[in-house]
Structure 1
Amino acid sequence: MTTQFSNPFKPGAGHMPPYLAGRGDEEAQFRKLLTQTEILENLVLTGLRGVGKTVLLETFKPIAIQEKWLWVGTDLSEAVSLNEANLALRIITDLAVVTSTFSLKSGEKVGVGFGTEPKDILQPVNFAFLSNMYEQQPGMVADKLKHVLEFAWSLVSHTDRKGIVFAYDEAQNLSDNAPKDQYPLSILLDVFQSIQRKGVPFMLALTGLPTLFPKLVDARTFAERMFRVVSLQKLGRKDTIDAISNPVKASNCPIAFNNTSIEAIADLSGGYPYFIQFICREVYDIWIQRHDTGEELGIPIIEITRKLDTDFFAGRWAKATDRQRELMWVVSLLENCDEEFSVQEIVAKGDLVLSKAFTSSHANQILSTLASAGLIYKNRHGKYMFAVPLMADFVRRQADSGGSSAIPFD
């Protein structure tokens, strides 16, 4: 019975796909960063939602461990950005995962020099130990963090580990808050640049939306020289086909995609890994049910597209006002809607298709609001892009189906 077959495809945020296609170049760049004895470059991994940033970061972890690096990290929630103390708590919490394997003699005076030797097992260097060290150290948050990190290296340096990778996903959530005199993003950059200059091999690996790197540079201009930026793009045609067909071959599925099906899924997915997983999973769930009843198999493109719209796009679309949706509809009509576009292009196209066009200032204002909602992002060259892949196709479908009263229909 094919109903006993386990569907190999796994759509979801950060879920490891059954086959990771087309990321060999990115892996090679990360491996090169791991060869550093003195950290001159850290990693920034960026891309739109659905391109596989989280998945790729997870595949880097076993590589780093195999190359004799320790690995700590998690998602950076917006709470970390509230204040500098939260950032310090986050780093100390993560660092304690690796230092808790070390111990010192109870009551021993702790030095920060790199000559400190791990002592007999009496007092574990756990979170409580590091947190107390942080609180007892005089100075600003940055001074306290540097002290704790340098002490941690004084322990790790006596092992066969080359250093520690501090890996943080969703790093675009981290930002400074000047009105409240809180600068957690700047503190992160200052601290790691400082200890790296002292020879401490603690490397940052940050992933996030394309807004991440401009935020880093805005916080500290030296960040431009501190990071190697790896931008994930959608998969090429061959890699897309491999991502569709290889999991089926590996799982010995009783139903296989033919070439026509593969090409149709590749077209519908646009080459984005999340959409490949989503569409393939839906297709297989439907096929398995129909196969057992003897029904004819085919790819229900309309039904899958409707489900994708509901599951992936609708929540984001609901955040927009009618006028914001109208602007996105204008963008969706541009030839370069899936690439970079400018305010001038929006205004010019709006003059042609709208009875009430946008002025440049109004378009800028709406784009800024859409950026805050995670629908648009602005790059460092003053151009804009949809922050969600295939969003333009979705917007046009809304217009074709009467999905918004704000969008003019003919």
Structure 2
Amino acid sequence: MDPALNPFKPGSGLRPPALEGRTRQREEFDLLVVRSKRRNYDRGMVLSGLRGVGKTTLLNNLAEHAERQGWLTIGIEARPNDSGIAAVRAKLGNELALSLRRFSRTHRLRKAMDELIALAKGFTLGVGLGPANVELRIDQPAASGDIDIDLEELVEAISAVMKKQGTAFGLFIDEMQDLDGDLLGALLAVQHRASQREWPFFLIGAGLPSLPSVLADTRSYAERQFSYSTIGPLSPTDAADALAIPVREHGGAFTTDALDILVEASGGYPYFLQEFGKAIWNIAASSTFDTDDAHLAVEDGRRALDGGFFPSRWTRATDRERRYMRALALTGESNPRSGRVAAEMGLTTTSVSDIRDSAIKKGLIWAPEHGRISFTVPGMADFIRRQSTE
């Protein structure tokens, strides 16, 4: 098959040739959009799941749909470190001003929007020596300097215009668990107030499995402010369609066994499907992909994953965190007890609690339930075991 026509695109947030298995979330969001047009406002949405399940792709798809339906939309990606805090807050203000300007041109609302654009452009950063000294303010005479109050006033002003237009304001946040506490708390407070006062403002977030608990810990009412959806691997049928449909559209086909091999090897994870799909397209000598092609594609795809997807997480870890992650992998369990991991290291649970906590903060591992631990990246344990063997 011609490599130039290869439809498969492994990458973070890249649109797959066939977005399968997310019908429920897309229909739920479409209902949210339809209800907002009738000024019948519902809750925001939170998508959570392991890395590689397609959360970013789905979030982008929802944002594009909202914009096509006339929403004012903003998309940002949270980052966990100190420089990330400043960058995210600056991007929030910049994206808001740009989105308001685009909305003004599209809907011919220049007069009504000029004041909002000026307000959004006034979103500035004051950065001190550490996270505690980072504050977001609106440089307007009436601004209080309190992020909760100022953000609420800005959203209220924007929502008033959106409500008159019969549309809504959507803030789409990827890696939402990495937002700094002050900004996250302010956004949750604004979403809460929007629900109470029927403002057309919606937070649509995506993040790791820990995200729901992060939100609940930040604001106790967060568990009632969102519709939560866990994004997992695709079913075998949807995974097969994600591979077969793009190939069929280009005149190719899989044998049944070849398709089964790739689906099983992927575990249903969309990112892995894209890697294996890309590999078999480039490997196959004819337009019918057979089992030999599939086995070679799995080998080639795993080399690609071992060369980029997994190491990008592994290299972020300190030596101590890697030792902890290696012990987690060597337990052979998907979510062992923390004590089991510590024992694998020859240490006590208490003595490794700081390593565990730092790895959780980096998004390398998470706690699926109290006292248990698991990788946030599917297949990470196998990758670590492969490195240990080599």
Shorter-normalised TM-score: what interval?
0.7 to 0.9
Does structure 1 residue 227 correspond to structure 2 residue 254?
no
- 8 Å CA contact 2:279, 2:300 repeated in 1: no
Give the number of aligned pairs: 362
Q: Which runs of 5+ in 2 are unaligned?
A: 123-137
Structure-to-structure mapping, 1:199-218, within 5 angstroms: 199-218=198-217
Pairwise CA distance, 1:375: 1.8
Paired letter, 1:341 = P
Q: Which runs of 5+ in 1 are unaligned?
A: 104-117, 177-182, 351-355, 402-410
Q: 1:200 to 1:394 in 2, by over 3 A?
A: same
Structure-to-structure mapping, 1:1-400, within 5 angstroms: 2-3=1-2, 6-34=5-33, 35=35, 37=39, 39-65=41-67, 69-78=71-80, 82=85, 87=89, 89-100=90-101, 101-102=103-104, 121=111, 124-125=114-115, 127-132=117-122, 135-139=140-144, 140-161=146-167, 163-176=168-181, 183-253=182-252, 256-288=253-285, 297=293, 299-300=295-296, 301-320=298-317, 324-334=321-331, 336-337=333-334, 340-347=335-342, 350=344, 357-379=346-368, 381-400=370-389
Give the helix-richer structure, 1 or 2. Answer: 2
Structure 2 length as normaliser, TM-score?
0.82
- 8 Å CA contact 2:176, 2:206 repeated in 1: yes
> Distance between the aligned counterparts of 2:326 and 2:346, measured in 1?
12
- 8 Å CA contact 1:69, 1:165 repeated in 2: yes
- 8 Å CA contact 1:166, 1:205 repeated in 2: yes
Q: Deviations over 1:230-268 (max 9, x none)?
A: 110011111111112111001224xx3222221211122
Corresponding residue for residue 405 of structure 1 = none
Q: Deviations over 1:20-66 (max 9, x none)?
A: 11111222332343336454521111111110001111221343345
> Distance between the aligned counterparts of 2:110 and 2:14, measured in 1?
41
| Cα RMSD for the two superposed structures | 3.0
Pairwise CA distance, 1:382: 4.2
Pairwise CA distance, 1:304: 3.3
> Distance between the aligned counterparts of 1:357 and 1:150, measured in 2?
56
Corresponding residue for residue 128 of structure 2 = none
> Distance between the aligned counterparts of 2:97 and 2:163, measured in 1?
16
Pairwise CA distance, 1:148: 2.1
> Distance between the aligned counterparts of 2:4 and 2:104, measured in 1?
46
> Distance between the aligned counterparts of 1:49 and 1:197, measured in 2?
34
Q: Deviations over 1:121-158 (max 9, x none)?
A: 49834633544575222322322222222222232222
Q: Deviations over 1:67-124 (max 9, x none)?
A: 55332223234468636x964x544433334533549xxxxxxxxxxxxxx9884983
Q: 1:135 to 1:306 in 2, by over 3 A?
A: same
Q: 1:39 to 1:379 in 2, by over 3 A?
A: farther
Paired letter, 2:154 = V
Structure 2 counterpart SS, 1:82? helix
Corresponding residue for residue 114 of structure 1 = none
Structure 1 length as normaliser, TM-score?
0.78
Paired letter, 2:176 = A
